Chain A
Amino acid sequence: MANLNVDSAKERTYDAIVIGSGMSGGWAAKELTDKGLKVLMLERGRDVKHIKDYPTTNMYPWEFKHRGEMPEKVQEENPVINRCYAFHEDAAHFFVKDAEHPYVQTKPFDWIRGYQVGGKSLMWARQTQRWSDFDFQGPARDGFAVDWPIRYADIAPWYSHVEKFAGISGNKDGLDTLPDGEFLPAFPLNVVETAFSKHLKDHYKGRHVISARCAHLSKPNQIHLDQGRVQCQERTLCQRGCPFGGYFSANASTIPWALKSGKLTLRPFSVVESVIYDDTKGKATGVRIIDTNTKQTEEYYARIIFVNAAAINTNLILLNSTSKRFPNGFGNDSGVLGKYVAFHNYSAHINAEVEGYEEWATDGRNPAGGGYIPRFRNVYKQETNFLRGYAAGFYAYRGFKHTWEGIGEDFKAGLAKKEYGSWRVGSHMMGETIPKESNFVKLDPTLKDPWGIPQLQISVDYDDNDEKMKKDYVDQMTEMFTSAGFKNIHASTNHQAPGLDIHEMGGARMGNDPKASILNKWNQVHSAQNVFVTDGASMTSTSCQNPSLTYMAFTARAVDHAVSEMSKGNI
């Protein structure tokens, strides 16, 4: 019997365990197996195999029972996920329904989740902008959060590393605020986007419209073909999963790559209850899971553990991983675990009509979505009554002219008309928010989820800085639209709950000082150095650029460090 147990424990022992299979977990598995390690990847949801498990990917609009709309009953039962822009009949099966995993909204928080192999990398919006030293130096310069323990130069080669493999389309724009990368050809701006870009260049110092950089194979290289992916076909049905592997997802890219090595074991239906800390050995030894099918608890062991459960769930796992050494949560000597959670402020939009440019339209669809306006506020120095700044999407489009008025034969003929209407433009705000101790997540003392794990209380809100920034976005965009000659300008703001931006970050932040942070400059837990956190939970501040590319780069960098430390016998 004793031998059986030893054998069983041996069978459940790996070189490394990766918790989570999404954007960053997929990268951890790929990099670890590339370096020859035997890896166990744990995923709480079901498996989603590339192509095979994309049931709607080749469906035409009329093949959806409600032509894409979600039934009222589903909407009423799922107020949170129903607010997500991609929760429609073609992709609803990739989103977590509200009742499936309850949490406590101490303040309104729309927690948007994808529990399956690939996580949210399957349905993400694929915008991939590098962060710069204006971001990594931000907290120190502006006096919030703690100083990032790294600078752009530390992460730059790792951006290159992940960009080459993932495939990022973009132009080398030469901007300080948005460092250039290893790009495939950009998706071009259309005539109105180009005109607005020129207008900003001519009339506004430091304001630019560039082709949005995105994780699409505009022109694949050999490394992409080797992954079994081919050129993006401009379907823009990405949220369904792409049969061409035209955009980067863990399902199409990192996970099949890691599986091909023969060194990755993928275990779906595995909710991680906690990271196991051995008080006598003084380090983490493994992970305790609950099999969601059998409801049985099981343990797996490894020399190193990567926690990539997505920002909020990574916080949950660490908070729930208590031991004699860590009574308040894993690595939480500082007491900051779960605190300084931040997000992106997406609560303002603007649109307008454009006169002219009638000799041009577009044909096909743009996977990049149009243009991107990098942050221009408070870049080189503080110049407004709020801290930090915002980026903005900017896009122009022109559809056919249809009149809604009338009935009968003329009206019917009008529906078939292919006469172009006028151009329209639109923009949305993407603002940085300031991490604060008062924005936090913590374990509920009594409520449990269906697996007996404490539910999370989420207490995150906007502040005065966000409101001022929102107003500035509206003022500045209105001014720029007006000076560009756009007509019927309509700005709108809303009070969408934090979370709906799907860019929640922090809670297990990096920092130089173990007394004020959870992770060191290598994404290692300060006080348990064989545990790494490289998803959104590790972010010290939020920048205003989309964060996924940065998670990928941090993950590859952390794996490189981890394996080097293992070979030196340090962990």
Chain B
Amino acid sequence: MDRRSALKNLAIVVGGTVLLPRCTSHNPVAHFTSFDVTYDQQSLVHDMADTIIPKTDTPGATDLEVDKFIWLMLDDCTKKDDQKAFFKGMDEFTDLVKKTYSKSFSDLSKQEKLTLLNTFEKKPGSKPDAKPANNYSKELSGFFSTVKGLTVFGYTESKYFLTKVDVYELVPGRYNAMLPVKNNMKA
């Protein structure tokens, strides 16, 4: 039995995607249609999503399994070249973390994670066309913005968000063309 089929036997199949138990000590692989993802890579995306939208008194990104959604979208709805760029950017990100902190992203403190991801962001209050103050490569910046974009997309299109935060109505039954508003809030 080769290593791959041995791992497959260990795996739990979730929605067609093979996910490995997180407790496995080495670095097992989840198999997607277009790529394989190591445990460390899964952890990285998981922890980035939770840093971008953390758990507070309401669910965070991974409470809603947004990390699984990110991998699904990368696998099904992303061009081959963009997938390649994503993994290249991910490698660069891993190197950046190691160079800066001598440990992996998952081992960083909450504050360290925020500080690092904030280097991908523009300074608060800067002009719309301003660029973040870093010299990151296209792939590295792209990796962050893909994870962020899919985190926000998965979160705001989740059942939780659309039933508890910004309620989606399947049958509005009305169009009010003139809704009064006070201080930019529903009056």
Task: Give the contacts of A393-425 with B (CB-CB under 8 A).
Answer: 400-401, 405-409, 411-412, 415-416, 418-420
Task: Give the contacts of A223-250 with B (CB-CB under 8 A).
Answer: 233-235, 237
User: Which residue from A233, A401, A418 sits with its C-beta under 8 Å from B173?
Assistant: A233
The residue on B at minimum CB distance from A370 is B177
Which residues in B have their C-beta under 8 angstroms from that of A67?
A: 153-154, 157
User: Which residue from B52, B76, B117, B177 sits with its C-beta under 8 Å from A71?
Assistant: B76
B179 to chain A, nearest CB (A): 4
Are B53's CB and A364's CB within 8 A? Answer: no
Query: In the bound complex, what is the Cα–Cα distance between A546 and B121 (angstroms)?
Result: 46
Are A405's CB and B121's CB within 8 A? Answer: yes
B9 to chain A, nearest CB (A): 27
Task: Give the contacts of A365-382 with B (CB-CB under 8 A).
Answer: 365-367
Are B118's CB and A407's CB within 8 A? Answer: yes
| CB of B31 closer than 8 Å to a CB of A | no
User: Which residue from A61, A73, A189 sits with its C-beta under 8 Å from B177?
Assistant: A189
| CB of A361 closer than 8 Å to a CB of B | yes
User: Which residue from B76, B162, B178, B180 sits with its C-beta under 8 Å from A62?
Assistant: B162
Which residues in A have their C-beta under 8 angstroms from that of B99?
A: none
A139 to chain B, nearest CB (A): 38
Interface residue tally for chain B (C-beta within 8 Å): 50
| Known interface pairs A360-B180, A362-B179; A235-B157 also in contact (CB < 8 Å) | no
| CB of B131 closer than 8 Å to a CB of A | no
Are A362's CB and B177's CB within 8 A? Answer: yes
Are B76's CB and A72's CB within 8 A? Answer: yes
Query: In the bound complex, what is the Cα–Cα distance between A400 and B54 (angstroms)?
Result: 22
| CB of A447 closer than 8 Å to a CB of B | no
| CB of A58 closer than 8 Å to a CB of B | yes
Which residues in A have their C-beta under 8 angstroms from that of B138?
A: none
| Known interface pairs A61-B168, A408-B51, A415-B156; A66-B77 also in contact (CB < 8 Å) | yes
| CB of A463 closer than 8 Å to a CB of B | no
| CB of B23 closer than 8 Å to a CB of A | no
| Known interface pairs A58-B170, A66-B73, A415-B156; A407-B148 also in contact (CB < 8 Å) | yes
Which residues in B have their C-beta under 8 angstroms from that of A71?
A: 76-77
Are B51's CB and A407's CB within 8 A? Answer: yes
Which residues in B have their C-beta under 8 angstroms from that of A65?
A: 72, 76
The range of chain A's interface size is: 35 or more
The residue on B at minimum CB distance from A410 is B124
| CB of B56 closer than 8 Å to a CB of A | yes
Query: In the bound complex, what is the Cα–Cα distance between A563 and B123 (angstroms)?
Result: 75
Which residues in A have their C-beta under 8 angstroms from that of B6?
A: none
Query: In the bound complex, what is the Cα–Cα distance between A234 and B153 (angstroms)?
Result: 25
Query: In the bound complex, what is the Cα–Cα distance between A401 and B183 (angstroms)?
Result: 13
Query: In the bound complex, what is the Cα–Cα distance between A360 and B187 (angstroms)?
Result: 9
Are A69's CB and B170's CB within 8 A? Answer: no
The residue on A at minimum CB distance from B69 is A67
Query: In the bound complex, what is the Cα–Cα distance between A73 and B76 (angstroms)?
Result: 7
A361 to chain B, nearest CB (A): 5
Query: In the bound complex, what is the Cα–Cα distance between A189 and B176 (angstroms)?
Result: 10
| CB of A464 closer than 8 Å to a CB of B | no
User: Which residue from B72, B114, B157, B174 sits with its C-beta under 8 Å from A408?
Assistant: B114
| CB of B100 closer than 8 Å to a CB of A | no
| CB of A70 closer than 8 Å to a CB of B | yes
| CB of A363 closer than 8 Å to a CB of B | yes
Which residues in B have their C-beta under 8 angstroms from that of A69?
A: 73, 77
Q: Lowest 9 A-B CB distances belong to which pairs? A: A363-B176, A188-B177, A364-B174, A364-B175, A363-B179, A364-B172, A190-B177, A67-B157, A62-B159
6 intermolecular pairs with C-beta atoms under 8 Å apart:
A61-B168, A66-B77, A72-B79, A362-B177, A364-B173, A415-B53
Given contacts A415-B156, A416-B165, 7 further A-B contacts (CB under 8 A): A61-B157, A62-B157, A72-B76, A359-B181, A364-B172, A406-B124, A411-B53
A residues near B (Cβ < 8 Å) are 58, 60-62, 65-67, 69-73, 187-191, 193, 233-235, 237, 358-367, 400-401, 405-409, 411-412, 415-416, 418-420
